[in-house]
Amino acid sequence: MARYKFQHLWGAGLLTFLCFQATLVIHYAARLEDELISPVLAVITAESLLSRANVSAEIRSYREEVKRLNREQFIRNEDVLGNFTAGNESAAAVIVIQVHDRILYLEALIGSLGKVRGIEQALVVFSHDVYSKEMNALIRGVRFVRTLQIYYPYSSQLYPKGYPGADPNGTILPPGYGRTVDLTQIKLHWLWKLVQVFRELRALRNHTGPKMFLEEDHYVSPDLLDVLAKTKAMQAKSCPSCILILGGYPKQKLWHDLNWDVVRLTRFYASGNNMGMVLERNFWQRFMECGKEYCTIDDYNWDWTLQHMHLKCFPEQLRILKPDAPRVWHVGNCGTHTKQKWKCRRARITESIRNLDTQLANNQANLFLESLRMVSTLKSPLPVTPNTFGGWGDPRDHNMCLAILRDG
């Protein structure tokens, strides 16, 4: 009888403790809008979610190398181009590129960056989710700009057996849900990259200049930084809370209809406005205040998540300034969603880039314009925001996302 009472009391105590832990998790999620979160609420860490399955010696070595490189944050080419933070904190641009494993596209993007006037003043941050010796060699061969490489430390490459990679045991998800590792990783990596840029990278702690976000299958025009500077001046004068979008998806047959000197003031809508985003600390502060929404909205796409979260949580709808003629293009026909593998052949990729170069050559007179003019289309109707696309139902992804927001 005494043993029964002891077991009963012990079980009740355990249940009370677990309920208390769950309450802390809920309370933590509700308080996430503040970057300075009390350690008492730090119940779930990123490391506690990672699989502890045995992996090869090669993968273990990659994990250690990623930790070392993320800790060092070494900037290349400062010996030739000077220290990035030496007196140009407010003016110099930072270009942040999210990199997976498509080296042919990345090679083309780097080539286009090499043609950008003023690129030697910038810093290019490559944020990888695959540790690749070939990618590293390509980037370390760049001499025309300062470069910094960082590595998403919770990738499926580093943890292939179990979460965050493919989990053979699965997890309990709501009915009708699945989890695609490559897709959830993109959303988590996008967030981790922002945390590094706005909070963790030592070289950027005093940086108040523009931060442009690209992906490996983007391509830029030679007047990229010139248009950025002119649009920034327009932003300061007419719409300080606007974010700049320098990318777009014009059809080739419509290039002749583009107004190269026009910058449109309009409202943010995810489709078509997810490329060449220029984000600054005022945006980051608003984003952090709504971080819980980013981590829990049921959509595996970072851009559509941003669409829903800003409508739901931001104090006002996002407005953007966007050149009518993009200075950032998407050239990737081969990616996560590609089923037709012939689109991944070098010849096909080379053809896409050659066509874009031809269009740019035909529009040389429209580059480096003396001035740009703003046209407001704020009153134009936007498409209805669709329902979320799902694919974000695994609670481990939610917790990983929240942990990244808190801890980096």
| Tens of pLDDT, residues 283-341 | 999 999 999 999 999 999 999 999 999 999 998 899 999 999 999 999 876 655 444 55
Closest CA to 356 of 259, 272, 199, 247: 247
Asked if 92 contacts 188 with a C-beta cutoff of 8 angstroms, the reply is no
Residues 38 and 70 in one domain: no
**Tally of domains in the chain:** 2
Residues 28 and 122 in one domain: no
Closest CA to 173 of 184, 158, 188, 161: 184
Q: What is the pLDDT of residue 301?
A: 96
Q: What is the pLDDT of residue 132?
A: 97
Summary mean pLDDT of the chain? 86
Q: How confident is the model at residue 252 (pLDDT cuts 50, 70, 90)?
A: low
Q: Which residues make up each annotated binding site for substrate?
A: 98-102, 129, 185-189
Q: Which residues make up each annotated binding site for Mn(2+)?
A: 217, 330
Task: Please tell me the pTM assigned to this model.
Answer: 0.87
Omega cis (within 30) before 164: yes
Q: Report CA 41 to chain centroid distance, whole Å.
A: 26
Strands 123-128 and 94-99, bridge-based pairing: parallel
**What is the rounded CA–CA span in Å between residue 77 and residue 84?**
10
Residues 362 and 276 in one domain: yes
**What is the rounded CA–CA span in Å between residue 278 and residue 228?**
9
Q: How confident is the model at residue 90 (pLDDT cuts 50, 70, 90)?
A: low
Residues 199 and 334 in one domain: yes
Q: Tokens 């066509």 label which residue?
A: 355
Give the domain CATH number at 394: 3.90.550.10
| Tens of pLDDT, residues 31-84 | 443 433 333 334 689 999 999 999 999 999 999 999 999 999 999 999 999 999
Q: What is the pLDDT of residue 253?
A: 54
Residues 393 and 244 in one domain: yes
Residues 168 and 32 in one domain: no
Q: What is the pLDDT of residue 169?
A: 66
**What is the rounded CA–CA span in Å between residue 249 and residue 217?**
13
Residues 154 and 224 in one domain: yes
Residues 112 and 150 in one domain: yes
Element (H, E) at 243: strand 243-245
Q: How confident is the model at residue 123 (pLDDT cuts 50, 70, 90)?
A: very high
Assess whether pLDDT exceeds 60 at residue 21: no
Assess whether pLDDT exceeds 90 at residue 270: yes
CB environment 135-162: b (16+ within 10 A), e (fewer) = beeebeebebbbbbbbbbbbbbbbbbeb
Q: Which residues make up each annotated binding site?
A: 98-102, 129, 185-189, 217, 330
Residues 145 and 6 in one domain: no
C-alpha distances (whole Å) from 82 to each of 111, 144, 310 are 22, 12, 39
Containing structural domain, residue 10:
2-46
The whole-number average pLDDT for the span 241-251 is 90
Backbone angles phi, psi at 14, to 5 degrees: -60, -45
Residues 8 and 109 in one domain: no
Q: What is the pLDDT of residue 30?
A: 38
Residues in the chain: 408
Phi-psi domain of 283 (left: phi exceeds 0; alpha: psi -120 through 50; beta: other): alpha
Residues 63 and 17 in one domain: no
C-alpha distances (whole Å) from 177 to each of 169, 394, 395 are 15, 8, 12
The whole-number average pLDDT for the span 263-268 is 96
Phi-psi domain of 2 (left: phi exceeds 0; alpha: psi -120 through 50; beta: other): alpha
Secondary structure (3-state) at 266: strand
Asked if 262 contacts 373 with a C-beta cutoff of 8 angstroms, the reply is yes
Q: What is the pLDDT of residue 395?
A: 92
Residues 192 and 287 in one domain: yes
CB environment 47-65: b (16+ within 10 A), e (fewer) = eebbbeeebeeebeebbee
